[in-house]
Structures are given as structure tokens and as C-alpha cells.
Amino acid sequence: MVTASHGTLSLDQTSAYPLAEGGAPLSLPGSGVRGRIGIVFIHGFTGRPSSVAPVVKALNERGFSVEAPRLPGHGTDVKDMLGTRYTDWREHVRRVTLALSEHVDAIVVAGLSMGGTLAIDIGTLCLPKVVGIVPINAQILDRKGLAVRFAPFIGKVMPLAPAALAGLKRNDVKKPCVDEHAYKSTPVLAGHSLVEALPLVREQLPAIRVPVLVVRSREDHSVNPANSIALLRSLPNAVVSELVLENSYHVATLDYDAELLIDRITEFADQAGNVRVARV
């Protein structure tokens, strides 16, 4: 058994812009029997680690070793994202996962929104010690609309666009007075790189052979729940379970069902990592 004591593995990047509030990555060593299980928890597009921090910290309090990286270009200034693409975010998560694997015996990769897409994508790589995937309100279907279709042209004349133009609703949280601290505008070409990656992500889904817990909010104003339903039907080689959140919108990690989410991820990680914890 390995008990993690890794310190900081988040592999944070240098930036010309200072970290914004909640932009710092989280690197939390585990303890006890669960310390040998690592959880990589990925925030969403234009978001930052603080959007998943309550769930991350609660999982760490239960003993898990948890990494919540800051994706390149995120958590600083939106102009920092202009030169980044989906491949940069994917590679960063891959590196964080591999670094954590040196300190734990098993890893669950979880993510919110685009973070969920990245978690799925990482699951197709069959990395050592990855034993489970938890996508939360993840995008896997092609996004529709003229703005998406003409994004390569729009991006050349208008690098930054209002989030609503991309079909994104900021602070899509049912709980009142909650700020996810996402960027107020969207880097058009960076966002389009995610759209371009989705067909390949879908094509590679049969490569996932570890258990998957698909989490979706019943009501979501940013990513249609049809994405999670389609994902459930597209994993022929994985043991798949589903959690439907009845009292949360898109940013479920900051919403009313957060405690339920923490409980189910705990149960899933215990089973995937083959850990037995005495129940009181």
C-alpha cells in the first residue's frame, strides 16, 4: 500500500497574467486507507479550480489524494486563453495524471463540463493506474448553431465573444448568489478547438474499459443532458452507472446536490480502487 504525500503535482504553468481569485490549482495529499487512491478533478471551459474546490476538498477530507489542476490559459485573464487549444488542456491533464500515478496505486479521473470531456478522453488512453472515470455534465455531442459553424471565421475578426454567443450560461447554478468565476467572454478559436475534438473523442469511446460513473443534472442550461444520455449508450466495453442530480443545474459542484455528488464519487472510488472502509 502507498500512502500519498506528494505535495504539489499540479504542474502549474507560467503566465504573463497573475492568478485570479480561485485560479490556483489544488494538490492535496491523502491519508489513511484511501490515501492510495488519487482523484484528478478537472474544471470546465473558461472556469478555474475554485469551481470544483468544495467537492475536491471534501473528497480529500475523506482521505483521497486529490489534484485539481488549472488548465492552460484558465484562472488568470481571458486573453491568456487565446493561444491555447483543446490539445493543450488534454496534454496537461495527461501529465498531471501520470505524475500522480507515481504516488498512488489507483486513480479516478473526474471532471465538470469540458473537464468531463477531458476525463473521458483521458480514459481512452488506458493510462497506468486509471481505474475509473466520472464525467459530470460532459459535452460529447456536436454543438449546433451558426455561431459554432462559423467560429473559425468569427474568431479571426472577433477573438473574444460573449459567452452567450457560444451557448454558454455563466453561473448556471440553482443555488442563489453563487459565482463560478468563469471568464465573462469566450475565446472563440479556443472554444472551437473543443468542438473539433468531439468527433474523435466519440470515436475512441470503445477504448474505455474501466468503470464509468456518468453524472448529469436533470436541468442544464449549458450542456444538454442528451450528451450524458448518449454517453451512457456509447461505452460498450465499460461498466457504466448513472447519477441524475434533481436539484442542480450545470455547475453541480457548487450546487444543492454537491453532498450527494461527494457521496457517490466516494463510493465509486472505493469500489474502483478496491478499498474497504469501515462504515459507522
At a CB cut-off of 8 Å and minimum separation 6, what does 278 contact? none
User: What is residue 52's three-state secondary structure?
Assistant: coil
More confident residue, 52 or 148: 52
Q: Which residues are catalytic?
A: 113, 220, 250
Q: In Å, how far are 26, 85, 142 from 197, measured between CA atoms? A: 27, 10, 10
Position 275 confidence tier, pLDDT thresholds 50, 70, 90: confident
6: pLDDT strictly greater than 70: no
145: pLDDT strictly greater than 80: no
Q: In Å, how far are 65, 81, 92, 173, 219 from 16, measured between CA atoms? A: 30, 11, 18, 31, 38
- Which sign, positive or negative, has the C-alpha torsion 121, 127, 133, 136? negative
User: What is residue 245's three-state secondary structure?
Assistant: strand
- pLDDT given at position 10: 55
More confident residue, 180 or 277: 180
What is the residue-averaged pLDDT of the chain?
91
Helix then strand count (H, E) for the chain reads: 8, 9
- pTM for the structure as a whole: 0.92
Position 4 confidence tier, pLDDT thresholds 50, 70, 90: very low
Pick the CATH number of 26-272 from 3.90.320.10, 3.40.50.1820, 2.60.120.10, 3.90.1150.10: 3.40.50.1820
258: pLDDT strictly greater than 90: yes
Rounded Cα–Cα distance for residues 100 and 106 (Å): 9
Residue in the block written with cell 498531471: 96
Beta partners for 265?
A: none
- How do beta strands 26-28 and 65-68 pair? antiparallel
23: pLDDT strictly greater than 60: yes
Position 80 confidence tier, pLDDT thresholds 50, 70, 90: very high
Q: What is the pLDDT of residues 86-137, one digit of tens each?
A: 999 999 999 999 999 999 999 999 999 999 999 999 999 999 899 999 999 9
- pLDDT given at position 1: 30
Where along the chain do its domains lie?
26-272
At a CB cut-off of 8 Å and minimum separation 6, what does 150 contact? none
139: its cell numbers: 459535452
Q: Work out the percent of the chain whose per-residue pLDDT is above 70.
A: 90
Burial class for 166, CB neighbours closer than 10 Å (0-12, 13-18, 19+) = buried
Q: What is the pLDDT of residues 205-245, one digit of tens each?
A: 999 999 999 999 999 999 999 999 999 999 999 999 999 99
